[in-house]
């Protein structure tokens, strides 16, 4: 506008009358206020007229904000991260940053499938040798503990002690960090393992195939619960540890896709058992994820976020719920 006005006055050949000293001098062009867009003027006047006491919006930063989640590393690095973090299998990890955690938590159900199949293989060998359904169930429940060094069961016990104490978040987190196990942890471990063994014994009582599929479904659903717990928006309760390393690394859409694939896959493997079994296995996976989400919600409310112990508790909760639902009907 100012440039156009100067050009217009330059084209005008009519001399301007001299100004008297009493009249104020004309403002220089550079002192004129910059024009504002119509939308900015309308939005500012409408907001100020409706809410005169409300402060104005802060200035927009000149840089783009960082992404809400970590970028995804190559799939090979993610698989190494998943197996190196969630199992004791001899997998050499090359990266342990948040980019690898993003891909690794997406691959967590694959690590769970491997653990479940190993447990089912040991149970099948015992059945073949005439060990009986109960012994096969005990071995199948023990193999995941062996392949994870008992970290998930330890996390379950520590989380039960922290939540059961009824103390504020800082004190509860301090209790969870101790090396000993309190009464809440012992009781929780006892009933969870009893539930898993009882459910597996009933499944093996039907056939080895039912028990093997149940072990695989439990392993996959347990690690899928970890994928959902690592989604964007779930904070870490501590600034260090596994929870801080993986918290918020998985986008919502990716976590939902993994969960859908897991549910569909659990239903597909039950096709040889009949249509009712297909529905039951899909519902078992959904119930496992729902139970883990309830526990996650409670941990976020009580502890402020997730920790490595919370991840272990989520995995054991989902696995137990899946096995229990598979025994229905």
Residue bearing the bigger pLDDT, 26 or 171: 171
Model pLDDT, residue 63: 35
Residues 93, 80 contacting (CB under 8 angstroms) = yes
Beta bridge partners of 276: none
Residue bearing the bigger pLDDT, 243 or 223: 223
Model pLDDT, residue 77: 92
Residue bearing the bigger pLDDT, 249 or 32: 249
Model pLDDT, residue 242: 84
Residue ranges per domain, the chain?
101-327
- Report, as an integer, the average pLDDT of 266-291: 97
**Buried b / exposed e across 234-263, counting CB within 10 Å, b at 16+?**
bebbbeebbbbbbbbbbbeebbeebbeebb
For the chain, what percent of residues have pLDDT higher than 90?
A: 72
- Residue 311 corresponds to which tokens in the numbers above? 């991840």
Whole-number average pLDDT of the chain: 84
- Residue 105 corresponds to which tokens in the numbers above? 């938590």
Model pLDDT, residue 241: 85
Check whether 62 has a pLDDT greater than 90: no
For the chain, what percent of residues have pLDDT higher than 70?
A: 79
Residue bearing the bigger pLDDT, 50 or 322: 322
Model pLDDT, residue 69: 66
Model pLDDT, residue 154: 96
């Amino acid at each position: 506008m100012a440039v156009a006005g100067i050009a217009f006055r330059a084209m005008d050949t009519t001399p301007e009358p001299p100004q008297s000293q009493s009249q104020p001098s004309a403002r220089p062009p550079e002192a004129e206020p910059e024009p504002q867009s119509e939308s900015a003027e309308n939005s500012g006047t409408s907001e100020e007229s409706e809410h005169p006491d409300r402060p104005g919006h802060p200035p927009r930063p000149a840089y783009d904000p960082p992404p809400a989640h970590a970028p995804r590393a190559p799939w090979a690095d993610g698989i190494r991260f998943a197996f190196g973090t969630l199992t004791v299998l001899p997998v050499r990890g090359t990266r342990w940053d948040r980019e690898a955690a993003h891909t690794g938590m997406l691959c967590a159900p694959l690590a769970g499938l491997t653990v479940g199949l190993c447990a089912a293989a040991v149970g099948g060998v015992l059945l073949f040798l005439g060990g009986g359904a109960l012994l096969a169930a005990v071995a199948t429940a023990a193999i995941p503990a062996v392949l994870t060094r008992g970290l998930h069961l330890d996390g379950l016990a520590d989380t039960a002690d922290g939540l059961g104490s009824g103390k504020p978040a800082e004190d509860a987190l301090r209790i969870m960090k101790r090396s000993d196990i309190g009464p809440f942890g012992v009781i929780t471990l006892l009933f969870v393992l009893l539930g898993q063994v009882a459910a597996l014994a009933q499944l093996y009582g039907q056939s080895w195939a039912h028990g093997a599929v149940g072990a695989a479904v439990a392993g996959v659903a347990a690690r899928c619960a970890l994928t959902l717990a690592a989604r964007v928006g779930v904070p870490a309760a501590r600034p260090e540890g596994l929870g801080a390393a993986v918290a918020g690394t998985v986008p919502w859409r990716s976590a939902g896709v993994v969960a859908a694939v897991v549910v569909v896959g659990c239903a597909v493997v039950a096709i040889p058992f009949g249509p009712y079994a297909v529905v039951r296995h899909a519902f078992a996976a959904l119930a496992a994820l729902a139970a883990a989400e309830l526990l996650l919600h409670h941990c976020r409310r009580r502890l402020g976020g997730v920790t490595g112990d919370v991840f272990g508790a989520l995995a054991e909760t989902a696995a137990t719920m899946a096995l229990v639902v598979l025994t229905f009907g």
